[in-house]
Amino acid sequence: MKRGLLGLVISALVLLPPLGEPYVLHVAIVVLIHVVYAQALYVIMRMGYLSFGHAGYIALGGYTSALLATKLGISPWIGFLAGGIVAALFAWALGTVTLKLRGIYFSLSVFAFAEVVNAVFRAFEVFGGPAGIAAVPRPALFGTQLTTHLQFYYVVLVVSLVSLFFLYRLQWTRFGCTLLALRTRATEALAESIGINAARHKTFAFVVSCFFCGVMGAVHVHYLRFVSPFVFTFFLSTDLLVYVMVGGLGSYWGPMLGTVLLTGLGEQLFAAGYYKSLVYAVVLLVVILALPGGLISPPRIFRRGGREPAVPEAAAATAARER
Amino acid sequence: MDVYLHLIAQGLAIGLLTGILYVLIALGLTLIYGILHIVNFAHGEIYMLGAMGVFYGYVVLKLPFAMTLVAILVLSLLLGLVVERAFFRSLRGQWLQLVVASVGLSLIIQSLAWVAFGIQEKNVPSFFTGIVSFAGVRLPMERLVAAAVGAVLVALLYLLVYRTKVGLAMRAIEEDEETARMLGINADRVAALACAIGFALAALAGAFVAPIYSLNPGMGLEVILMSFLIIIVGGLGSITGTVLAGLLIGVLQSVGGVLVGAEAAYGLVFVVMIGVLIFRPAGLLGKA
């Protein structure tokens, strides 16, 4: 049943777009890109880590590819990969230092990192300064540049489906299950006692998370055909968090649900300017207060006999005092 | 060379004065963290509201300065109580939800502020004019007054936490909340108080910088970034560590700005943070 539904959704995503108008395609592209961002963020949130700076890694990926394409004329296809790799390298460097810490220390250091990345892009002319980099080319396939929404939609679709499939499978590998065991300091100590190298697992998870953000960031920039320090800001990082939390941490489908609903809604609110963040924030607070497990979890009143909520919240409660 | 030294001395002095204001904001964060175990992202917005309060009270409504300050103090204390009651209390112990709720709160306040205050930058005339010269270093009076007020507030907070019964309760809850509750400490009330005090410190810091910077609803972001760096460097929950780190980072930013430029100084501060995280993960004076 679930598999059939998934097949139906994927075939709709593949077959329907030629019928759609450019605007609908635009919304679909934006939603797909953000789904991958949120799902990548979910990798580390599953192990109890919260990042306030994923936009920094997205920006690193985007800038890498944009610079390669505009300064050196390197094909965006290579740029996508290069973007992912650069983001992953920086993630590795920061992760080895800060992932040893638990909770808020990690979150704050990633936040600071992203702000510095932005400041550096703003400061140096090599990176385009405050104006950013314009005229970022679209990738070409068999000699034709993919300039229309429809053509680029398929690029995004392929990259995001591959990423999402990988991230989905990752959960159920030995590695993915081990990440669940690292959620709290106590379980982490248990895992280490049976010979699991927690630090290496956590670093690798963070690297994977940032790799996909970097790749998708590169795709994103080539879609926008432009990047500046004001594209991937703190607000993107918080938006991603909002998507994941509103959707719910209990299952892989939670962040996806949250992202699809909110980015779709956000596009409708785009003209409303600042009201977009306002609506997001209100939705976030309402969901968190009423449904701490996110939209994917049933409301408290439907839960039988006051059963304990799913693992994430329980883990979060114990994690509260840890760093 | 002489000019250079002079510039550094000037940067040092300005850095210390700015550092005290960072300390005010970071102390509020540390206070709230110690009791509620969250880092309050909305803190930068409270700072912004404090500065905007001065603009609307002192410039638009032409209230006397002292009256504006009292109004800001009362309103920020109330806001702290309301926020604690409405959001933080029901999420106690849920780390992820708490932090994300504070982010949500920050977004709400900021987007409402953009709508209400507009994108036009606002300027507040100096409350205190004049320049003080000391050993060749020239300091604007308004910065000196702001720093002096900041120092007094820090001292008052220190007395509150280490010399009063409420402060004892705060430290007890930080140490071990369960035991503190068993001993009859009303943890909810103490948390509300900590929240209110933290908000008031941030709002007052905002009020005193109002004449120094141009005001816009996004001004909280840079300050909150600096405050986060400060509490990481100083050690979460440590008042003395926060004060030291705040002054250190204020000086680094200001002297670094003179020597290598503002954006590179940002990077410098970040490098210091990473260094502290590597060698003293709990911060300079934090408990390991």
What is the complex's ipTM, to 2 decimals? 0.77
Q: Are residues B96 and A249, on separate chains, in Cβ contact within 8 Å?
A: yes
Q: Is B9 on the interface with A (CB under 8 A)?
A: no
Q: What is the percent of chain A where pLDDT is above 90?
A: 21
Q: Are residues A316 and B103, on separate chains, in Cβ contact within 8 Å?
A: no
Which region among A14-23, A174-183, A198-207, B109-118 has the lowest average model confidence (pLDDT)? A14-23
What confidence score (pLDDT) does residue B267 get? Answer: 78
Overall domain count for chain A: 1
CB nearest to A292's CB, from B94, B115, B277: B94
The domain ranges of chain B are: 11-214
pLDDT digits 0-9 by tens, A134-144: 878 888 777 77
Q: Are residues B94 and A116, on separate chains, in Cβ contact within 8 Å?
A: no
CB nearest to A116's CB, from B37, B112, B267: B267
Residues of chain B found within 8 Å of residue A235, distances taken between Cβ atoms: 107
Q: Are residues B225 and A115, on separate chains, in Cβ contact within 8 Å?
A: yes
Residues of chain A found within 8 Å of residue B91, distances taken between Cβ atoms: 288-289, 292
Bigger pLDDT: A217 or B6? A217
What is chain B's pLDDT, residue by residue, as a tens digit (288 residues)?
A: 577 788 888 888 888 888 888 899 999 898 888 888 888 889 999 999 999 999 998 888 888 888 999 999 999 999 999 999 988 888 877 777 888 888 889 988 988 898 888 888 888 888 777 788 777 777 888 888 888 888 999 999 999 989 999 989 988 888 888 888 899 888 889 999 999 999 999 999 999 888 888 888 888 888 888 888 898 888 877 888 999 999 999 999 888 888 887 777 877 888 888 788 778 877 777 765
How many angstroms away from the CA of A279 is the closest CA of chain B? 8
What confidence score (pLDDT) does residue A56 get? Answer: 93
Question: How many whole angstroms separate alpha carbon B32 and alpha carbon B40?
Answer: 7
What confidence score (pLDDT) does residue B202 get? Answer: 94
What confidence score (pLDDT) does residue B288 get? Answer: 52
CB A219 within 8 A of CB A33: yes
Q: SS3 for chain B, per residue?
A: CHHHHHHHHHHHHHHHHHHHHHHHHHHHHHHHHHHHCCCCCCHHHHHHHHHHHHHHHHHHCCCCHHHHHHHHHHHHHHHHHHHHHHHHHHHCCCHHHHHHHHHHHHHHHHHHHHHHHCCCCECCCCCCCCEEEECCEEEEHHHHHHHHHHHHHHHHHHHHHHHCHHHHHHHHHHHCHHHHHHCCCCHHHHHHHHHHHHHHHHHHHHHHHCCCCCECCCCHHHHHHHHHHHHHHHCCCCHHHHHHHHHHHHHHHHHHHHHHCHHHHHHHHHHHHHHHHHHCCCCCCCCC
> Mean of the pLDDT values across residues A191-203?
88
Residues of chain B found within 8 Å of residue A320, distances taken between Cβ atoms: 37, 93-95, 98
Q: Is B178 on the interface with A (CB under 8 A)?
A: no
Residue of A nearest to B281 (CA): A101
pLDDT at A305 > cutoff 50:
no
What confidence score (pLDDT) does residue B16 get? Answer: 87
What confidence score (pLDDT) does residue A310 get? Answer: 46
Cross-strand bridge partners of residue A144: A141
Q: Are residues B107 and A111, on separate chains, in Cβ contact within 8 Å?
A: no
Interface of B with A in 100-139 (CB under 8 A): 100-101, 103-105, 107-108, 110-112, 114-115
In a domain, A307, yes or no: yes
Residues of chain A found within 8 Å of residue B104, distances taken between Cβ atoms: 242, 280-282, 284-285, 288
What confidence score (pLDDT) does residue A205 get? Answer: 92
pLDDT digits 0-9 by tens, A266-293: 777 666 666 777 888 888 888 888 877 7
What confidence score (pLDDT) does residue A300 get? Answer: 52
Residue of A nearest to B175 (CA): A321
What confidence score (pLDDT) does residue A270 get? Answer: 62
What confidence score (pLDDT) does residue B155 get? Answer: 92
Which region among A11-25, A196-210, A265-279, B244-258 has the lowest average model confidence (pLDDT)? A265-279
CB nearest to A98's CB, from B225, B277, B282: B277
A163: its two tokens: 């990423």
What confidence score (pLDDT) does residue A313 get? Answer: 45
What confidence score (pLDDT) does residue B156 get? Answer: 93
Bigger pLDDT: B226 or A92? A92
Residue of A nearest to B108 (CA): A278
Q: Are residues A284 and B111, on separate chains, in Cβ contact within 8 Å?
A: no
In a domain, A223, yes or no: yes
Q: Are residues A123 and B33, on separate chains, in Cβ contact within 8 Å?
A: no
pLDDT at A314 > cutoff 50:
no
The band of A90, judged by pLDDT with boundaries at 50, 70 and 90, is: very high
> Mean of the pLDDT values across residues A85-109?
86
In a domain, A23, yes or no: no
Q: SS3 for A212-262, per residue?
A: HHHHHHHHHHHHHCCECCCCCCHHHHHHHHHHHHHHCCCCCHHHHHHHHHH
Question: How many whole angstroms separate alpha carbon A41 and alpha carbon A241?
Answer: 8
What confidence score (pLDDT) does residue A306 get? Answer: 43
- SS3 label, residue A145: strand
Number of A/B CB contacts below 8 angstroms equals 140
How many angstroms away from the CA of B145 is the closest CA of chain A? 30
Q: Are residues A320 and B282, on separate chains, in Cβ contact within 8 Å?
A: no
In a domain, A65, yes or no: yes
Residue of A nearest to B226 (CA): A112
What confidence score (pLDDT) does residue A316 get? Answer: 47
What is the largest distance, in Å, between two alpha-carbon atoms of chain A?
63
* Identity at B201, one-letter amino acid code: L
- Name the residue among A277, A241, A301 with its Cα closest to residue B115: A277
In a domain, A301, yes or no: yes
pLDDT at A323 > cutoff 60:
no
Instruction: Return the residue in B37, B105, B107 with the most chain A beta carbons within 10 A, the one to mutate for interface testing.
Output: B107
* Full residue range of the structural domain in which residue A53 is found: 31-319
Name, of A7-11, A71-75, A265-269, B52-56, the range with top average pLDDT.
Answer: B52-56
- SS3 label, residue A118: helix
Residues of chain A found within 8 Å of residue B111, distances taken between Cβ atoms: 274-278, 281
CB nearest to A274's CB, from B37, B98, B114: B114
| CA B221 to the chain's CA centroid | 12
Residue of A nearest to B174 (CA): A321
Bigger pLDDT: B79 or A47? B79
